[in-house]
Amino acid sequence: MNRVQRIFSRIDEPVDAILLMSSEEPLIDVSFFYATGIKGGLFEECPAILWPDGRLQLITSRLEETSARTSSAEISVFANKAERDALLAEALRGVGRLGINAAGITHANAMLVRRMAPHAQLTDVGDAIKAARLVKDEDEIDAIRKACDIASRVADEIPSMLVEGVSESEMGAEIAYRMQKLGATGTSFDTISAFGAGSAEPHYHTGDRKLRPGEPALFDFGCKYDRYCSDITRTYFLGSVPEKFERVYQVVLEAQQKALDAIRAGARGRDVDAAAREHIEGSGFPGGLIHSTGHGLGLAVHDGGRMAPNDDLVLEENMVMTVEPGIYIPGEGGVRIEDDIRVTKDGYEMLTSADKRLRAV
């Protein structure tokens, strides 16, 4: 079953075709690249049309033609928007129900489709696309493994970079540089370098704060390889570890292992979350975990599905998830330990390999 057929197999109400279309960067729908398998290019304003029999049509600009021909799609090339619109109208002739990824298409492009196919009823099939993308094929897993290997190698180099007075922004730049030097095509997201009290904010905005002895230094980062993401977090301390944070770190590490022990195909994500959350709650840090225990990882760093109390995700073999419990003490600091795993029939494959022992450097 190819990726197009996988998407159609997840649709509850049949559609005659599915259209995927990005706008200008950064409004790029990565599902376009999932369906086409293309690794290069941006394909701004270039429609991809998926058919229930597994066929794929791609209407591409001359700018992207070389990359387009790396896919198995039927290719049509346009020189200007008028040609594109005519090709799109012809391709959608006779389509009654047209699936779109509502979360990934801009309003302007949706209106374009309505004009080119006024007879078609637009139907959101985003949930089916998300479900298909959650379970990775071997090519996807290989790319994620490589991205995880690169991020892990850089994580193990971080202690050698930590010196008193280094700034958060310096560390973020150095981490990104080292990942790309090892073969990454870019970062998965803006690297979080958080020192001291900033580490108590999970989505901290990295600034110019300088590292001081005895405070936590938290790094949440990842890289892309062939468009696929890794996502890892490690927390270190400069000089010495305050007694309180020795305990915090140990509880987070134990919570992560309890979550990992609960992972297998067929397990409920909320039960994995509960294993970590209940350990943190029962260890003297009620309310310390203020986010989900993990999320899907793939073409996007949040690739659908969460292991959280309010999510109904059931784990399937070859899903790739993060496992990232943390404890956060406002005004003082936080500890998060994050790894990436592939769900297997009876457990998990650990994809990230960086040392996660408590380190004072």
Per-residue model confidence as pLDDT tens digits over 339-359: 999 999 999 999 999 999 998
CB 36 within 8 A of CB 58: yes
What is the number of residues in the chain?
361
Residue 26 one-letter amino acid: P
Q: What mean pLDDT value characterizes the chain?
A: 97
pLDDT at position 74: 97
DSSP 253-264: HHHHHHHHHT-S
Long-range contacts of 163-166 (CB under 8 A, 24+ apart): 163/211, 163/238, 164/210, 164/211, 164/212, 164/213, 164/238, 164/239, 165/210, 165/211, 166/210, 166/211
pLDDT at position 327: 98
CB 19 within 8 A of CB 113: yes
CB 297 within 8 A of CB 253: no
**Residue 287 neighbours by CB distance under 10 Å:** 10
Least Cα distance to 356 among 147, 155, 202 occurs for: 155
In DSSP terms, which residues pair with 321 in a beta bridge? 296, 341
Q: Residue 15 CA to chain centroid, in angstroms?
A: 28
What does the pLDDT look like over 299-328, one tens digit per residue?
999 999 999 999 999 999 999 999 999 999
- CA–CA distance, 204 with 332 (Å, rounded to integer): 14
Checking if the pLDDT of 281 tops 90, the result is yes
Mean pLDDT of 246-269: 98
pLDDT at position 112: 96
pLDDT at position 16: 98
**Residue 129 neighbours by CB distance under 10 Å:** 28
Mean pLDDT of 168-174: 98
pLDDT at position 92: 97
Q: What is the pTM of this model?
A: 0.96
pLDDT at position 1: 83
Return left, alpha or beta for 318; rule: phi > 0 is left, psi -120 to 50 is alpha, else beta. left
Domains belonging to the chain, first-starting first, are 3-134 (3.40.350.10), 138-350 (3.90.230.10)
pLDDT at position 125: 98
Mean pLDDT of 187-208: 96
Which ranges of 162-194 does DSSP label H, i.e. alpha helix?
A: 168-181
pLDDT at position 11: 97
